[in-house]
Amino acid sequence: MTTPTLDKPPTTAPTADVAATRTPLGRALTWTGAVLGGVTLLWGGVQVADLVVSRTMTEHATYASADVVELVADGRVTVSGTSGSSVDVVRTQRGGFSMPTYEVDEGDDRLVVRNRCSWWFGSCSGSLDVDLPAGTQVVVRTSNGEVRATGVAGPLDLQTSDGGIEVVQADGDVTLRSSNGAIVVNDVDGSLTARTSDGRIDVDDVRGDVAVVTSNGGVQVGRVDGDAQVRTSDGRIDVADIGGSLQAVTSNGGVTVQDVRGDAAVRSSDGGLDVAAVQGNVEAVTSNGHVTVFGTGEPVALTISTSNGRQVVDAPTDPSAFRSVVIRSSDGNVAYLGPRGS
């Protein structure tokens, strides 16, 4: 008879306490992650609560006219020129836990209207819609919203940190700046200066000089009575009907030019160039792409070269000619041809 024996449970090696073996850095990172996670959840909850209690208020006010009207907002701003003699302001305020603050400063020759959030939180925004006498000088500063001006017969200085700008029928010099947004301009009786860090620029019918710059976006400019300077770091340029001289430069994109009464200097670091109907001297240079210049039918002093590509000359040239044309490409075909369509 055998004596039964009890099976001994398998023995396992003792495990070390994971928390006890963590390094101080590991514990610090764990606590930091937990705190950040909690803050994120709390902030998300506050944002949701802010939206739940958010409300919108709209009010109207009228002020005496002034030589200069300055509008400061944290939202959309629209300005319209009228035949009236007063400044009519419609303010829209939206917010939850925080609402915009509305302030007005009336001076002898300057009216300042502010509709701003005291601190960036939640859904707070303050917009302005303003009708004013057409000849008023207008200054606009908004932190977050588009700006639109129509029928203003005084100088315009419009700036937004985040939003597009549109100007239609302005009688006076115009200065526009946006950190993030497109710029559209149509019908300006004065000079135009426009700059955006991110967005395309479209300009048509300016009876003065034009200078436009964008860091990221295409540019289209047409019907300019004066000189035009056009520059983009990344985008295509299309220019037509320039009454004075033209400078068009892009770091990355093609350029098309048609009908310039003065000189034209056209450059691209990476893109093809097509230039036609320039009455003055022409300089068309690209590092990578084709270059085609259509002449006017009159002889020019021509300089043409390419490091890699075909070279075609099919238009009158004369080394002693008064007008000069320079065509260069580091990598692409180059051509000087007769008038386009001939």
Domain residue limits, the chain: 54-145
Q: For the CA atoms of 222, 223, 227, 233, what is the dihedral angle to 10 degrees?
A: -10
Percent of the chain at pLDDT exceeding 70: 84
User: According to the model, what pLDDT value does residue 305 have?
Assistant: 98
* CA gap 329, 289 in Å, rounded: 7
Q: What's the rounded mean pLDDT across residues 99-122? A: 88
Least confident residue range of 7-11, 95-99, 208-212, 329-333: 7-11
**In this model, does residue 42 exceed pLDDT 50?**
no
* CA gap 168, 185 in Å, rounded: 6
Q: What's the rounded mean pLDDT across residues 24-33? A: 69
User: According to the model, what pLDDT value does residue 242 have?
Assistant: 99
**In this model, does residue 67 exceed pLDDT 70?**
yes
Identity of the highest mean pLDDT range in 29-33, 104-108, 270-274:
270-274
Q: What is the dotted CATH code of the domain comprising 54-145?
A: 2.160.20.120
Per the prediction, the chain carries an average pLDDT of 89
Q: Is 269 left (phi over 0), alpha (psi -120 to 50) or beta?
A: alpha
User: According to the model, what pLDDT value does residue 99 have?
Assistant: 86
Q: What's the rounded mean pLDDT across residues 26-54? A: 58
pLDDT tens track for 6-26:
455 555 555 445 444 567 776
Q: What's the rounded mean pLDDT across residues 162-191? A: 97
C-beta of residue 126 within 8 angstroms of C-beta of residue 102: yes
**In this model, does residue 87 exceed pLDDT 80?**
yes
pLDDT tens track for 112-171:
999 998 865 567 899 999 999 989 999 999 988 999 999 999 899 999 999 999 999 999
Residue 32's pLDDT band, with cuts at 50, 70 and 90, is: confident
Residue 172's pLDDT band, with cuts at 50, 70 and 90, is: very high
User: According to the model, what pLDDT value does residue 65 have?
Assistant: 95
pLDDT tens track for 322-341:
999 999 999 999 999 999 98
Residue 97's pLDDT band, with cuts at 50, 70 and 90, is: low
Least confident residue range of 105-109, 138-142, 147-151, 278-282: 105-109
Q: What's the rounded mean pLDDT across residues 209-213? A: 98
Task: Identify each DSSP E strand in 164-316 by its residue range.
Answer: 165-170, 174-178, 183-188, 192-196, 201-206, 210-214, 219-224, 228-232, 237-242, 246-250, 255-260, 264-268, 273-278, 282-286, 291-294, 301-306, 311-314
Residue 95's pLDDT band, with cuts at 50, 70 and 90, is: confident
